[in-house]
Amino acid sequence: MSQDKKPYISVVIPVLNEEENLLELQERLVFTLSKMGKPYEIIYVNDGSTDGTQKILEKIHHTWPNVKVIEFTYNCGQHLAILKGFEKSSGEIVVTIDADLQNPPEEIPKLIQKIEEGYHVVGTFRKNRKDSIFRRIPSYLANIITSYLTGVKLKDYGCMLRAYRREIVDYINMCSDTSTFIPVLANIFTKRIAEVEVEHEERKRGKTKYSLFKLLRLNFDIVTNFSIFPIQFIGFIGVIIAVLGLMFAIFLFIRRLVVGPEVEGIFTLFAILFFFIGVQILALGIIGEYIGRIYMEVKKRPRYVVKKELL
């Protein structure tokens, strides 16, 4: 296929220490995309890998002329790597996929077909997910919370095998957030959203880049990045506690007038006091999270630093 044509499909792949999977991924991508008979490009974004990933990507670039490689100076995160890939993409349809081969590249035609039906964003949910229960449970909770906060109910916000129309990618490129979550960000710009089922495979080589802590952190990021609900909820709880505290104070005052001074309830008072202190600390933590994000934004540091581009 001629590589002089403007790509119809752009595939953006964030990569972090995946040297063992890259050649197989590339070969399977080329086989799948070539069968579709439309011009395509593949964009790898090396997110600060410390293994032999960059050398393999450069070899792939020199072997396949429709491959672009972007190398970050340091690890900036999966979503910022995708954003850089979006910036360099030119296809009418942009597909994102991880480099670990758990999402088979052979599923990409399903997403393209759905986009061509008129949808602007196509997500996926994993059939018979092969991850451990320690990853599935946080993911399940995140999907429920994210669906509630965004008003867009999807089964699997965590699967990065997704497709976007060009205009949605252009809208995303206009955003300058230093911390974001692309599947949710894309939903802001359209209601033409679909979701298809895809196969999911066990990781054969390499190690997962998301520990349990990182998954929990990611879930918290989603909530605080796209909603002020947590801080509103804390305010609501504060009002309730204040009212309950006033009512309890009135009760204790009346009891003192009727029964007289007593000390046997002191441990109950301590328990209530500790509860109030705990709620206050939680509230301060959530407020601090929002203030911290404002602090990160106003510093205006670059979202990523590019070390090398092979275009």
Residue 255 exposure: Cα atoms within 13 Å on the Cβ side:
10
Interatomic CA distance for residues 19 and 102, integer angstroms = 15
Give the SS3 label for residue 172.
helix
Q: According to the model, what pLDDT value does residue 1 have? A: 43
Residue 272 exposure: Cα atoms within 13 Å on the Cβ side:
12
- Which overall architecture, per CATH, does domain 9-227+306-310 show? Alpha-Beta Complex (3.90)
For residues 167-186, b (16+ Cβ closer than 10 Å) or e, as one string? ebbebbeeeebbebbbbbbb
Q: According to the model, what pLDDT value does residue 154 have? A: 87
Q: According to the model, what pLDDT value does residue 137 have? A: 77
Q: According to the model, what pLDDT value does residue 281 have? A: 76
Domain ranges of the chain: 9-227+306-310, 229-298
Question: Hey, what amino acid is at 309?
Answer: E
Q: According to the model, what pLDDT value does residue 291 have? A: 80
Q: According to the model, what pLDDT value does residue 293 have? A: 73
Sites in the chain below the pLDDT cut of 70: 1-4, 209-227, 260-268, 270-271, 299
